[in-house]
Amino acid sequence: MATFGTLSDRLTATFSALRTKGKLSPADVDGTVREIRKALLDADVALPVVKDFTAAVRERALGDEVNKALNPAQQVVQIVNDELIGILGGQQRRLQFAKNPPTVIMLAGLQGAGKTTLAGKLAQWLKADGHTPLLVACDLQRPNAVQQLQVVAEQAGVAVFAPEPGNGVGDPVRVAKDAVKHAATALHDVVIVDTAGRLGVDAELMKQAGDIRKAIDPDEVLFVIDAMIGQDAVATAKAFQEGVDFTGVVLSKLDGDARGGAALSVASVTGRPIMFASTGEGLGDFEPFYPDRMASRILDLGDILTLIEQAQKAFDEEDARKTAEKFATDSFTLEDFLVQMQQLKQMGSLKGMLGMLPGARGMREQLDNFDERELVRTEAIIQSMTLAERRMPKLLNGSRRLRIAKGSGTTVTEVNALVNRFEQAAKMMKTVAKGGVPQVPGMGPMPGMGGGGGAASLRKAQAKKKGKGASRSGNPAKRAAEEAARAQGVKPAGAGASGAGFGLGGGGAAGAQPTPEDLETIQRLLGR
């Protein structure tokens, strides 16, 4: 959701300044509203929408609901969230299907908005929902538009109706009428009509689109608009509403790096709901539009519901249960890991999924630097292994690893790193599957997951297990001093300290201090 990246950052920074205040004064509210207004205007949101939005936020923020709240900052965030949902359309609107099939859906919009590709995305989405869509080529003027629709239809695995060659040849109105008749006889329950666009709003475009609408009387007219065109979105939407009218809006290119004002303006200005969003170039990068979920993403509150829905589509419940059992019985292999990774790729962009987690804006730099191709390299390494090697990684000696590196186009170092990461992850997941607390190498129980103890207590426990009854420092110099003290019958300095998380604090005068190894491990886990 790169489109709202800057807006989200600005709003998040504005709200963070409120969290230190126990009570909000009118000056605090005015300053917050002023920053919100600047952020929305910078995002190319239409001025009338900004005025109404900030006025509503200010009125509610100065009301009793904030004054009586235990946490005023959170209450203001909730108010902004509610108002964002309002300008994005309020409730989600679903497609309305005809009582007597076929349901006719007409697409309209400017040239370059992505109508043809979106027709394929909508068709594939409907097909996955059990429908039998038919794509209709009524864009007979743009060069090779008919051929493009045919290619998209083949990729989506749906039928296409294209009796005319296009490139300026053919009557789009007649094609649309014939397509509806053909769909009724061929048992297609949905007809998606791809109409011609122009480089700008003009009378010829409106007349042709209006004639097609009159001829086929569609159940839905979806206005496809580029989410990156900014303030022009409002003028374009109004022109189409007056010339053709439409029942819903589809936002395309929502994954772009523009400021996204179109999404926050078009629903409020036209009174028509945003029904779908195109979030990438692939045919699967398409989803219903939920105003509440989009508002949560903008405010960096996450979108867990969409993440769960994507996971449910990609992962089979029975397969997930079997995988959990393999974790618990220590029988999880690289073969299983490959299957899991391929299912993960079916969910879409990993960067996009991570961006749906609450607080993801705090990981902006890491997300921007994340290379999606790393999954492809990992997949290539595993696929270069034999079936026996995948199931028994212990077989991977030096010569085998060299062969795998050459076969996957990687290095032996990358192969070694993958195997090491897999072994550590398998051990950790086995512990979690059995209800335990995962152990971080060199640090003991994972921070934040209970277990206490830390690095010092872990070394103490390991020493007792070996029958030595005393801890040994990870620092070579300190360890030598401890051993010398024990040889003289003197208790080493710091011995007997209970230790707390990360080896800091705890009982005793000074507690067990972290060793350089401990600090290095902590920094590595923190990504520093």
Phi and psi at residue 466, in whole multiples of 5°? -80, -5
CATH assignment, 103-306: 3.40.50.300
Architecture of domain 2-87: Up-down Bundle (1.20)
99 is in an annotated binding site: no
198 is in an annotated binding site: yes
pTM, whole model, 2 decimals?
0.60
Higher model confidence: residue 388 or residue 497? 388
Least confidently predicted of 39-43, 175-179, 221-225: 39-43
Task: Give the number of C-alpha atoms closer than 13 A to the C-alpha of residue 225, restricted to the C-beta side.
Answer: 35
Question: For residue range 4-26, what is the model confidence (pLDDT) as tens digits?
Answer: 667 777 787 777 777 777 777 88
Contact 418, 431 (CB under 8 A): no
Contact 49, 264 (CB under 8 A): yes
114 is in an annotated binding site: yes
Higher model confidence: residue 30 or residue 227? 30
115 is in an annotated binding site: yes
21 is in an annotated binding site: no
Q: What is the separation, in whole angstroms, between the first and last Cα of the chain? A: 26
Position 472: which residue type? R
Sketch the domain layout of the chain as residue ranges. Answer: 2-87, 103-306, 314-433, 443-525
pLDDT band at 509 (very low <50, low <70, confident <90, very high): very low
What SS3 class is residue 108?
Answer: strand
**Cα–Cα distance for residue pair 157/149, rounded to 1 Å:** 12
252 is in an annotated binding site: yes
Neighbour tally for 165: CB within 10 Å: 12
Higher model confidence: residue 382 or residue 507? 382
Q: Write down the pLDDT at residue 406.
A: 92
402 is in an annotated binding site: no
According to DSSP, the β-strands at 444-445 and 286-288 are unpaired
Region 152-173 average pLDDT: 91
Question: For residue range 208-253, what is the model confidence (pLDDT) as tens digits?
Answer: 888 999 999 999 999 998 877 766 777 788 888 888 889 999 988 7
Question: For residue range 277-332, what is the model confidence (pLDDT) as tens digits?
Answer: 888 788 888 889 888 888 877 776 655 555 555 565 555 666 666 666 665 666 77
Neighbour tally for 351: CB within 10 Å: 16
Question: For residue range 408-431, what is the model confidence (pLDDT) as tens digits?
Answer: 999 999 999 888 888 887 777 667
Task: Enumerate residues 6+ apart whose C-beta is below 8 A from 314.
Answer: 343, 344, 346, 347
**Cα–Cα distance for residue pair 406/380, rounded to 1 Å:** 11
457 is in an annotated binding site: no
Q: Write down the pLDDT at residue 402.
A: 93
What 8-state DSSP symbol labels residue 512? P
Contacts within 8 Å (CB) and 24+ apart, 425-431? 426/327, 426/330, 426/332, 429/327, 429/332, 430/327, 430/328, 430/330, 430/332
Does the structural domain 314-433 have CATH classification 3.30.300.20?
A: no
Position 262: which residue type? A
Higher model confidence: residue 524 or residue 352? 352
What SS3 class is residue 42?
Answer: helix
What SS3 class is residue 224?
Answer: strand
Region 447-470 average pLDDT: 42
Question: For residue range 232-244, what is the model confidence (pLDDT) as tens digits?
Answer: 777 788 888 888 8
Distances (CA, A) of 37 to 62, 73, 89, 300: 17, 18, 20, 18
195 is in an annotated binding site: yes
